[in-house]
Structure 1
Amino acid sequence: MLRLLHRVKIPAGCRRCMSTKTTVMGFGDGSHGALGLPGSIIGMGSDAYEPTPIPGLPPDVVSIAAGHFHSLAVTSEGDVWSWGRNKEGQLGRHPLSLREAWNEPKRVEGLNKVRVQAAFASGVISAAVGDDGSLWVWGSSKRGQLGLGKGITHAALPSKIETLPGEEIVKVSLGWGHALALGKNGSLFGWGYYADGRIGKIGRELEISPLESNSTKLRSREEFSAIEAAEKSVMEAIEKEKDMPIIWEPGSIEELDELKVADVACGLDHSLVLCRDGTLFSGGSNVYGQLGRANKDLGMQPVDIELHPLSIASGLGHSLAVCNDPSSEPTGDATSVVSWGWNQSSQLGREGPANIPNVVEGLADKTPVSVSAGRAHSLALTAKKEVWSWGSGRNGRLGLGSSADEAEPMLVEYLEGTEVIQAVAGLDHSLVLVAE
């Protein structure tokens, strides 16, 4: 999750590192090669329980992105590097590239004439924004997530979305089957699977998906006792969807036409949209309470949050926001992390009602500046360049040296003494960008 991007081409805090050597580190689940570690054979990879340097990357990485099972890095020269799962083509490599080499970081093909400013990743799609505001996508999705036109479900190499003429895109956020793109001028575009209003209203009536209609059934079953069982319920519901409502090309979101957008974040099947006036909207599935609002109407509706959001993040079923507390002393510029949604593995980092946005008390005096959320874990980067993690510790995804869950934020001590520029969570792994 990046900080606000009103007029920024690369993440705030990363611009100065263009003349500084950097190292990308990873921790968590390595079974798909997303950690880029030697000997990480697809399906048999090793996990990393502490931040571990990823070999083979250039020393001038300025930003990173973590998808569900793959990772991306952008260099100061505007190149994109990728590694991890490539079954859907999300690495941007030749279709016949060796499966055994997916875990090795390599430069994305097909972007030689594009100077990339930022890259973004989801489960099956990758995206890059050029210095001219152009948007490029690659991977596979039957849900229209590529945004390349009706019926186009696969792009082995980066392809430019041609239906955004005159728009300078600065950020993209990708869910499992939907996408949101933020323009430099505050405009917002959505495409892909639009059931439950996860991308708002774009020229069609909103529809409820089988996943949302099954929410009572899901809640009543005792499957939330395990992360795998909960995910299985979600995936089963998705597979049952027929005649999926899809927006095949980017369209303007009607509910927000008169507003200027500052930040966007897509979870698995929900979305958060932060406007420049501080209003936070949510849309999509509310199975876990991830919308954070009593209003049950479909589409983009205001979140019930008291503090002033500055930046946002969405996990599989939970939501995070860095907020300003104007009542803080003495300057009134202190920040807090607010969380809501799925909390089976303590990924909210707090007690209390899960569906109501509340402050994560363990970070109250840490001045968080950005947050990121995975399947069932959360990360926060502070003004002191420290990384705090909480939630599910399985596979070492918290970087704390164990597989134990943590109910409240814990300092990633391995990174003490380093200057962390960026921290991002994939589904089951995490990445940090460190200045040398």
Structure 2
Amino acid sequence: MKLFLKLPVAAFLVLSAIASHSSTITNTTATLVASVNPGGVVTTAWFEWGVGSRFDQTTTSASLGAGISPVAVNATITGLTQGAVYRSRVVSSNGVTGVRRGVENAIASPAIALDGANPLTNNWGVAYTEPGATVMGFPVALAGGRIHALALKADGRVSGWGGNTAGQINTPANATNLVGIACGQHHNIAMRANGSVVAWGENAFNQTNVPAIATNVVAVTAGESHCLALRSNGTVVAWGDNSSAQTNVPATLSNVIAVAAGQRHSLALRSDGTVVAWGYNGFGQTNVPSAATNILALAGGSGHTLALRSDRTVLVWGLNSYFQTNIPSTVTNVIAIAAGFYHNLALRADGTVVAWGAGTNNTGATPHFGQSVVPANATNVVAIAAGYYHSLAMRADGTVIVWGAGTTDTGSFPNYGQSIVPGGLNALTLPLLTSGAVNVFLPGVQALNYTVTNAFGGVVNGISRSVVVTSPPPPPLIHSATSLPGGAFHFNFSNATPINFTVLAATNVALPTSNWTVLGSATVITPGVYQFTDAQATNFPQRFYRVRSP
């Protein structure tokens, strides 16, 4: 006898958009939208979010029922700081599959700082000069290569520094509207807001030749000379160096929410918190341990793999040549991880960073360049990244800190200036839209409004400047008039408010102003005192003069 049981379909996240969910941000409020399919099981869903990598806040859980079609999940979060960077992810839970998470989504809204005074006083009749405004925002992401580093700015552009041996810091002109970045050894990969991918730098293994199938991408990563792209349908595309089968994506790999790469191995995190690894396994770096469950994040080094669990503990396996798999006792309450070539970083919930492996001192010899010596100013950190022999962190105030190799730029290994942070990472190049106009002949308060939008769906509006146009000056007072030799006529006049005046003339004072002849501008003798000479005055039997501004 055969017994057939009809089991409920496991709940799964439906990645129907460019990311597992989308967000729109207006000023200090963000609206999060996602889609979750209950799969025939009673399911609830919510969002986890926070500053940088913290994910320490949650929205109210919503009941999705037990249907088999995607259900919209919406939430509004408030109290955001303009210019700061947040991240969110959708989470579902049911009695069959437990907790599952979606792809992380960046929330980055720019900030506008008005230049000049506000309110600003403008004299009546004087042309208004707009002081402008500065658009700012904290870096959205950091990444490190062998001898270079990248920062993704909140305007969707990349700033690179350090070694440029393969053009890796020469960002191409089409690298705009970017929402994610990663560094390989000497190459970079980035994804745009529309899900397309751009890559540049070293191309010895065709790692910058993006395949046509890499569309609807929601996350990217890079190994030494290969690339991985996660698509919105939960599948992975890989290309570049395949000497260790690191681009041979397992045929059954699906429901992926994050990807990572080591030197020659590749990693995928599935929505159920399990890990899939492939590629070079000479040090056991693709032998995923049984304890690797409920994983939130992955990172890969030269020959080791790092994983962060939902209980905020860390697992490391693989090569231990520099004790990189010996987890320090201080690695607790971890919210983010990063792996360099032979070292690791862990960001704790209190904003401190723990580093271990190579570089616990700086001998000046490979691989010990101080990359595991966390500087004292690395406090209140919200994001981390690691290069081969240097480490990167961003503080909650948007300050980027880098340490390890490259604190100087000698033009030779290892010092290419990759640890010298450039200025201007918070300055954004975004079009500033101004609505309203200033009528300089209309006394009173007038308003100008400013709006700016970035690639992350962030909109800042409602920023306004009050322009106070003063009352018009009293009529000019003529205090001397003289006939000069040769028939010219000369007169002086004064005005309480120093502005520019134009002189007009007519032979009939009753003519409308439009019929008067414009003679030219009056000359400023001293502030508020003007002079004009009419060289043709005696050519007319009589002539009347008037002045106007402008």
TM-score normalised by structure 2 residue count: 0.47
Partner of 1:175: 262
- Of structures 1 and 2, the larger Rg is shown by 2
Superposed, 1:32-51 pairs within 5 Å as 32-36=166-170
Q: Does structure 1 conserve the Cα–Cα contact (< 8 Å) formed by 2:378 and 2:395? A: no
Partner of 1:225: none
Q: Does structure 1 conserve the Cα–Cα contact (< 8 Å) formed by 2:267 and 2:275? A: yes
C-alpha displacement of 1:184: 2.0
1:280 aligns with 2:314: yes
1:28 aligns with one of 157, 162, 183 = 162
Q: Does structure 2 conserve the Cα–Cα contact (< 8 Å) formed by 1:71 and 1:82? A: yes
Size of the aligned set, in residue pairs, is 286
Superposed, 1:27-426 pairs within 5 Å as 27-36=161-170, 54-92=171-209, 108-111=210-213, 114-148=215-249, 161-164=250-253, 167-200=254-287, 253-256=288-291, 259-293=293-327, 304-324=329-349, 334-343=350-359, 344-350=368-374, 361-364=376-379, 367-393=380-406, 396=409, 412=421, 414-415=423-424, 417-418=426-427
Q: Deviations over 1:405-431 (max 9, x none)?
A: 97xxx8x361364379xxxxxxxxxxx
SS at 2:369's partner residue? coil
Q: Does structure 2 conserve the Cα–Cα contact (< 8 Å) formed by 1:345 and 1:391? A: yes
C-alpha displacement of 1:255: 1.2
Q: Does structure 2 conserve the Cα–Cα contact (< 8 Å) formed by 1:10 and 1:63? A: no
Q: Does structure 2 conserve the Cα–Cα contact (< 8 Å) formed by 1:172 and 1:182? A: yes
Q: Deviations over 1:118-150 (max 9, x none)?
A: 1111112101011111100001222121134xx
Give the distance between the partners of 2:161 and 2:312, measured in 1 at CA: 34
Give the distance between the partners of 2:230 and 2:425, measured in 1 at CA: 32
Letter of the 2:291 partner, please give it.
Answer: L
Alpha carbons of structure 1 residues 277 and 386: separation in structure 2 relative to 1, 3 Å: same
Q: Deviations over 1:266-302 (max 9, x none)?
A: 0011111111112211111111111124xxxxxxxxx
Higher fraction of helix: 1
Q: Deviations over 1:224-248 (max 9, x none)?
A: xxxxxxxxxxxxxxxxxxxxxxxxx
Give the distance between the partners of 2:217 and 2:409, measured in 1 at CA: 31
Q: Deviations over 1:72-131 (max 9, x none)?
A: 111111110010111111112xxxxxxxxxxxxxxx34136x211111111121010111
Q: Does structure 2 conserve the Cα–Cα contact (< 8 Å) formed by 1:373 and 1:379? A: yes
Give the distance between the partners of 2:175 and 2:338, measured in 1 at CA: 28
Give the distance between the partners of 2:246 and 2:326, measured in 1 at CA: 25
Give the distance between the partners of 1:73 and 1:404, measured in 2 at CA: 22
Give the distance between the partners of 2:297 and 2:247, measured in 1 at CA: 20
SS at 2:302's partner residue? coil
Give the distance between the partners of 1:416 and 1:24, measured in 2 at CA: 9
SS at 2:157's partner residue? strand
SS at 2:325's partner residue? coil
C-alpha displacement of 1:10: 4.9
SS at 2:423's partner residue? helix
Partner of 1:156: none
Q: Does structure 1 conserve the Cα–Cα contact (< 8 Å) formed by 2:245 and 2:279? A: yes
Alpha carbons of structure 1 residues 291 and 56: separation in structure 2 relative to 1, 3 Å: same
Q: Deviations over 1:305-339 (max 9, x none)?
A: 44311110000111101012xxxxxxxxx310110
Give the distance between the partners of 1:131 and 1:188, measured in 2 at CA: 18
Letter of the 1:274 partner, please give it.
Answer: L
Alpha carbons of structure 1 residues 288 and 271: separation in structure 2 relative to 1, 3 Å: same
Q: Deviations over 1:172-225 (max 9, x none)?
A: 11112222111122121111222332223xxxxxxxxxxxxxxxxxxxxxxxxx
Alpha carbons of structure 1 residues 162 and 81: separation in structure 2 relative to 1, 3 Å: same
Structure 1 alignment gaps of length 5 or more = 37-53, 93-107, 149-160, 201-252, 294-302, 325-333, 351-359, 421-432
Give the distance between the partners of 2:184 and 2:204, measured in 1 at CA: 13
TM-score normalised by structure 1 residue count: 0.59
Letter of the 1:180 partner, please give it.
Answer: L
SS at 1:414's partner residue? coil
Alpha carbons of structure 1 residues 277 and 260: separation in structure 2 relative to 1, 3 Å: same
Higher fraction of strand: 2
RMSD: 3.3
Letter of the 1:199 partner, please give it.
Answer: T
Letter of the 2:198 partner, please give it.
Answer: W
Q: Does structure 2 conserve the Cα–Cα contact (< 8 Å) formed by 1:264 and 1:274? A: yes
Q: Deviations over 1:342-384 (max 9, x none)?
A: 111111134xxxxxxxxx53313xx111111112111102222
Alpha carbons of structure 1 residues 291 and 279: separation in structure 2 relative to 1, 3 Å: same
State the structure with bigger RCO (CA 8 A, min sep 6), 1 or 2: 1
Give the distance between the partners of 1:371 and 1:260, measured in 2 at CA: 21
Give the distance between the partners of 1:199 and 1:261, measured in 2 at CA: 15
Letter of the 1:81 partner, please give it.
Answer: V
Give the distance between the partners of 1:376 and 1:262, measured in 2 at CA: 25
C-alpha displacement of 1:404: 6.8
Give the distance between the partners of 1:342 and 1:419, measured in 2 at CA: 36
Give the distance between the partners of 2:336 and 2:211, measured in 1 at CA: 32
Structure 2 alignment gaps of length 5 or more = 1-51, 56-88, 92-100, 111-139, 141-151, 360-367, 430-454, 460-550
SS at 2:219's partner residue? strand
SS at 1:123's partner residue? coil
